Amino acid sequence: PFAHRSVAIWSFAMWSRFARCTATPAFRFAKVAAGCAPTLQAPGSRGIALASAGAATAVAGWVVASPQGGVSSCEAAVDWNAVRKEIVKVLDNDKYVDSSYDGATPGPLFLRLGWHSSGTFCKHTNTGGSDGATMRFEPEMSWGANAGLKLAQDMLEPVKKQFPSMSYSDLWIFAAIVAIEEMGGPKIKFTPGRTDKPSGKECPVWEGSTHKDGRLPGADMGSPDKTAAHLRYIFNRMGFDDREIVALSGAHGLGACHTDRSGFWGPWTRAPTTVSNEYYRELIENTWTVKTTHKGKPWKGPLQFEDPTGDLMMLPSDIVLIQDKEFRKYVEQYAKDQDSFLKDFGAVVGKLFDGGCKGSTAKKGWFS
């Protein structure tokens, strides 16, 4: 039943993508009084320029320069429709491959880049967040939680070179938003105006017990109670409650883990390039046991869980969402109601991406 459901989800995503309007709206750029964040206003239809709907894939042969330091701002107006087209071209590159699952696109990787660049926000100190693109530098680049994200940065570097007035921090967030929409997810408001920090001295500091992962959540704290407490500790610092924590966790329905990055292995669902509630359905409806073998050999990686086929995985921080009664009620809700999940996911991802963005306090414009 899981395989049939995945085919249906994939078919819906492809149909949704094909059916989008291709008209390009006209935009006016208005400078906001505080800072240089322009508000993008679309007086006409909400069209989206699309490239072909073919499955995107991999990276063999990507050779691009590493992002350099320096302050970048939004003084020159950026044609975000043109940027979108270039990002879609990268998403549709048929050379992209992923060692953990077939039919991969860079979409989940771009979402993770935007997520991790935003997930450093602290509402108490108003530090970190999506403004700055400090993941270009050490020590943030080498945080354990950011393993593999240099690849995403490199894949977007040609787009940055085409639009030099665009900041890296805006590009990363916009690429994540485009990826979500291209994978059949909800539309998320995008307000440009982020600026890039000049050096690693600006990387957010974290003195907590998980400092090796920076300010980002870890997958396992040793017990369900400690892992649940850790999730609340990390996400409450960003301003998220239990419902929002569970909604954000739905991003795990996309992509996969890799032994050469996090040490974990495998996809969470059979539709890893489609935004859906499949992650929650797998959590509730499937059977999860501790992984002991991998491809016929003893599993030597960190603690993770697998389904009876061994094809799918869950992290301890995923399983705790059905072990903790407060988290579980939202898992059950989203498993039953995809529309509810998509609505909450769009809202909470928008909130995440605005964290720490000084331009986000300005009047919101529409773009998507």
Return the residue matching tokens 């301003």.
239
Return d(Cα 166, Cα 156) in angstroms, integer.
12
The one catalytic residue among 10, 80, 115, 116: 116
Compute φ and ψ for 300, nearest 5 degrees.
Answer: -110, 5
- Radius of gyration of the chain, Cα coordinates, nearest whole angstrom: 20
Residue 56: name the closest of 29, 101, 95 by CA: 95
Return d(Cα 235, Cα 230) in angstroms, integer.
8
Question: DSSP code of 121?
Answer: -
Yes or no: say if 14 and 105 are a contact pair by the CB < 8 Å rule: no
> What b/e readout covers 352-363, taking b as 16+ CB neighbours within 10 angstroms?
bbbbbbebbebe
**Residue 325: CA count within 13 A, CB half-sphere:** 0
Residue 345: name the closest of 188, 206, 149, 137 by CA: 188
Q: Quick one: tokens of 118? A: 């935003």
Return d(Cα 316, Cα 269) in angstroms, integer.
16
> Quick check: is 15 catalytic?
no
Supply the DSSP string of 23-40, one letter for each residue: -----EEEE-SSTT-EEE
**Residue 189: CA count within 13 A, CB half-sphere:** 18
Q: Pairing between strand 266-267 and 256-257?
A: antiparallel
Return d(Cα 334, Cα 246) in angstroms, integer.
9
Return d(Cα 83, Cα 165) in angstroms, integer.
12
Crossing angle of helices 278-285/325-336, nearest 10°? 120
> Quick check: is 116 catalytic?
yes
Compute φ and ψ for 255, nearest 5 degrees.
Answer: 75, -155
The one catalytic residue among 80, 206, 268, 288: 268
Q: Quick one: tokens of 158? A: 């040609």
Question: Which positions are catalytic?
Answer: 116, 268
